[in-house]
Structure 1
Amino acid sequence: MTPQTHAQNLILDRAQIEQKVTRMAYEIYERNFEEQELVLAGIHLDGYTLAEMLAAQLEHISPLKVYLLRITLNKAAPLQEQVQLQPENISITGKAVILVDDVLNTGKTLAYTLSTFLPQNPKKVEVATLVDRHHPLYPIAATYTGYSLATTINERIDVVLDDDNFGAYLH
């Protein structure tokens, strides 16, 4: 898709996304100020990029020690392949964990990742998303939301967090 096609459907530009990430980081810190450590677990690809952006803000505004985890799974068939966490040496036992994804649609992706985290006994698990579409099919709700947008089930939201075409787009 060309940048011009994207521009017609732009719902969040770079400045708006950065503003929402900053606000979300403050909200995360406010709800977790008593923690010493925090784990941000981002769904590969753009959820992890969003987690990196949140981690940078949290390290700037708070004394929290922030750990980043990359979650990789087959979103189309989550039971066919094991959910991968990288790096593998980060313990989440007794820690506050925030699952991060770019778009929360049905909650399916985040629901399947919980099976990887719960056996490790985290202190709590929260959810951060840049765009919440409000089509829950699973009992997953965002704790932190950058932008809430009611869409039809046929519409799609694409979040692009690379330097060439930074934005959120409605299709």
Structure 2
Amino acid sequence: MIINHETALKTLRRMTHEILEKNDDVANIVLVGILKKGLPIALLIRDNIKQYAGIEVPVVELDISMHRDDEKRRPATQPDFAVGNKVCILVDDVLFTGRTARAAMDAIVDLGRPKRIEFAVLIDRGHRELPIRADYVGKNAPTALDETVIVNLSGINAGVYIERIR
């Protein structure tokens, strides 16, 4: 186990404080949870922002399947939100090669021109293939290429784990 459930929630609270420190105009933030694993983390960050700043920022689920260059393309559902002049904070569970983040940025730019795009991840495991970095990182957890990181924030076995790929 990399981090247990309690530590993961504590880490997300710290990341929320970092987001609030960097963004004076909280009402201008849109949290963009990358389908599927980024959405639960985005919702937790939204709840933390509401608790600390008293503002409920919108959360949007982003399907990036149409923008992937390393997987078979399939039609994506477009979210219905305006990105113009908004601070879009992409949220995902794990940053690995950077390809998911690149596809997510492409999907956002297809919707309009945001004021800024930031990136928040719970775990950064290294091994970039693209020059991508996260603005907000919960934990750096270097892994071997034959390992994967599993993030599970609900249920009996909640926590973040490393598993060897067979």
Structure-2 residue corresponding to 1:5: none
Q: How does 1:18-167 map to 2 (within 5 A)?
A: 18-74=9-65, 77-78=70-71, 80-86=73-79, 88=80, 90-119=81-110, 120-167=112-159
Deviations 1:59-103 (A, max 9, x none): 1111444110101233685561244344x1x21110000000000
Unaligned runs of 5+ in 2: none
User: Do the aligned residues in 2 keep the contact of 1:46 with 1:160 (CA within 8 Å)?
Assistant: no
SS of 1:80's equivalent? coil
**Aligned partners of 2:47 and 2:56 also within 8 Å:** no
**Where does residue 4 of structure 1 map in the other structure?**
none
The whole-number CA distance in structure 2 between the counterparts of 1:135 and 1:27 is 25
Cα gap change, 1:64 to 1:92, in 2 (>3 Å): farther
Find the aligned partners of 2:82 and 2:105 in 1 and give their Cα distance: 15
Secondary structure of 1:156's aligned partner: strand
How far residue 151 of structure 1 moved from its aligned partner, in angstroms, is 1.2
Count of aligned pairs = 160
| Partner SS state of residue 141, structure 1 | coil
CA separation in 2, counterparts of 1:16 and 1:73?
29
Question: Equivalents in 1 of 2:25, 2:70: separation in Å?
Answer: 38
Give 4+ residue runs of structure 1 displaced > 6 Å after superposition: none
Q: TM-score, normalised by structure 2?
A: 0.88
Distance in 2 between the 1:40 and 1:49 partners? 11
For the Cα contact (< 8 Å) 1:83–1:113, is it kept in 2? no
Report the RMSD for the aligned CA atoms in angstroms.
Answer: 1.8
Distance 1:31 1:84 in 2: 31
Distance of 2:101 and 2:75 partners within structure 1: 14
